[in-house]
Amino acid sequence: MEPKKRGFFERLAGSVRMEEEPEEGKKKFTGMGNGEKGSRKNNWIEEESEDAELAVDVYQTEGDIIIQTMVAGVKPEDLELSIARDIVTISGKREESRNVDEENYFVKELYWGKFSRTISLPQEIEPEEVDATERHGLVTIKLQKVDKEKKNTIKVRSI
């Protein structure tokens, strides 16, 4: 029997999924609503995707929106930022460099593999005015807000 693929939180926390038999007379909660077996639209937990999702902090200053995320073990050149006026996507891959047989692990909690996160911004930013830095695994992305109040007065010249 092939082992079942572990979910993101199981890999993150090192937990193991236990299959329990429902007690007689009790319904087993499957997370599905309206009695629809196999329906995904009412599933309270989304199925695991290929990429893990990054945890982020997003906050604002007077003129900027700041995004911070931890990507320890990832080289800056292995990160990709895709920036539009109202959406930022951070993606990359964390490579495992050691070769250890699974039976030799006592605890295996670190996540290795692809990750990404798409963030909808609360307001528009200038995609050309972005500063991204990495220090000790903490990536900080500084996005300049669009100043819709900004006015410019132009003098008309005669030529």
pLDDT tens, 39-87? 444 443 334 446 778 889 999 999 999 999 998 888 888 899 999 989 9
116 - beta bridge partners?
53, 91
Q: What is the number of other CB atoms lying within 10 angstroms of the CB of residue 92?
A: 20
What are the extents of the domains in the chain? 47-145
Range list of β-strands (E), 39-137: 52-53, 56-60, 64-70, 79-83, 87-94, 113-120, 125-135
For residue 84, the model assigns a pLDDT of 92
Q: 15: which 2 tokens?
A: 């937990």
For residue 21, the model assigns a pLDDT of 47
For residue 42, the model assigns a pLDDT of 43
Question: Does 2.60.40.790 match the CATH number of domain 47-145?
Answer: yes
Q: How confident is the model at residue 17 (pLDDT cuts 50, 70, 90)?
A: low
Q: Is the pLDDT of residue 35 over 70?
A: no
> Tell me: the pLDDT tens digits for 125-155?
989 989 999 999 899 999 999 877 777 777 8
Closest CA to 120 of 89, 92, 80, 81: 89
Distances (CA, A) of 116 to 17, 21, 37, 48: 24, 36, 30, 13
pTM: 0.60
Q: What is the mean pLDDT of the chain?
A: 75
Q: Is the pLDDT of residue 27 over 50?
A: no
For residue 5, the model assigns a pLDDT of 61
Q: Is the pLDDT of residue 20 over 80?
A: no
Contact 125, 146 (CB under 8 A): yes
Q: Is the pLDDT of residue 34 over 80?
A: no
Closest CA to 118 of 158, 87, 145: 87
